[in-house]
Amino acid sequence: MINVENLKKQFGPITAVDDVSFTMEKGEVVGFLGPNGAGKSTTMKMITGFLEPDDGKVTICGTDIATDPITVKNRIGYLAEHAPAYGEMTVSAFLNFICDVRQINGSQRRDAMQRVAEKCAITPVLQQTIGTLSKGYQRRVGLAQALIHDPEILILDEPTDGLDPNQKHEVRQLIKKMAKDKCILISTHILEEVEAICSRTIIIAHGKVLVDSTPEKLKEEHKMTLNEIFRKITRKKTA
């Protein structure tokens, strides 16, 4: 469902993404790990069409995002790391705006609004302005807009950032429930999150993929915890 081939991106003298390639299939939840500045968010922005790569190719469900970006974006739900929203709008108005953008109307809109409000546990704040919400609720509103068109593919950049432990657990359970019907790529720095919900792990540093395996295989191969493996691999690359 996702095919990333030799992606490269530079910002001036800085190489943010350097020849990144991987594929993903339906039913996979892939944890995208790396230290700050590793190239995770830049890669995700290129996969979703928010950034154009300097080189390489992204194909979503057989469609090249460079040649048909609208078709691709209709199949993707994207939660950015710092998801923008209109602080003066109510949650309901914002989600209705997203439905306008996605051309979701009539009974489909009512059903979609109810579905994401329940899934993301935002029903109590639907009539509250986004600017007055806690960071945790704002994150859940961001997740709701990514899910409202029921996409086949989810790209989630730090989906549990700002949530309390109970909220993190709820979001992780939601991701696990959706996993069988979707293809989900998650950027996170929380290694316990990877072990809890991810079927596969990709570790990236300095724009390069260092590891592409399952958490279980990594722990068996290295005889270490995932946290120890992450520190060892990324430290070796830095050195």
Could you give the CA distance from residue 31 to residue 24 in angstroms, rounded to a whole number? 11
Instruction: Report pLDDT for 166.
Output: 86
pLDDT of residue 239: 47
Contacts for 39 with CB less than 8 Å, ≥ 6 apart: 9, 16, 17, 18, 20, 204, 206, 207, 208
Residues 215/39/76/183 CA torsion (nearest 10 deg): -10
Number of H helices, E strands in the chain: 9, 10
Per the structure block, which two tokens stand in for 5? 């081939």
pTM for this structure? 0.91
Residue ranges of domains in the chain: 2-75+152-238, 84-150
Residue pLDDT, tens place only, 80-137: 987 778 999 999 999 999 999 999 999 999 999 999 999 999 999 999 999 999 888 9
Rounded Cα distance, 33 and 205, in Å = 9
- Express each pLDDT in 14-65 by its tens digit: 999 999 999 999 999 999 999 888 999 999 999 999 999 999 999 999 999 9
- The structural architecture, per CATH, of the domain 2-75+152-238 is 3-Layer(aba) Sandwich (3.40)
What is the pLDDT confidence band of residue 237, given thresholds at 50, 70 and 90? low
Q: What is the pLDDT of residues 189-210, one digit of tens each?
A: 888 889 889 999 999 999 999 9
pLDDT (average), residues 177-182: 89
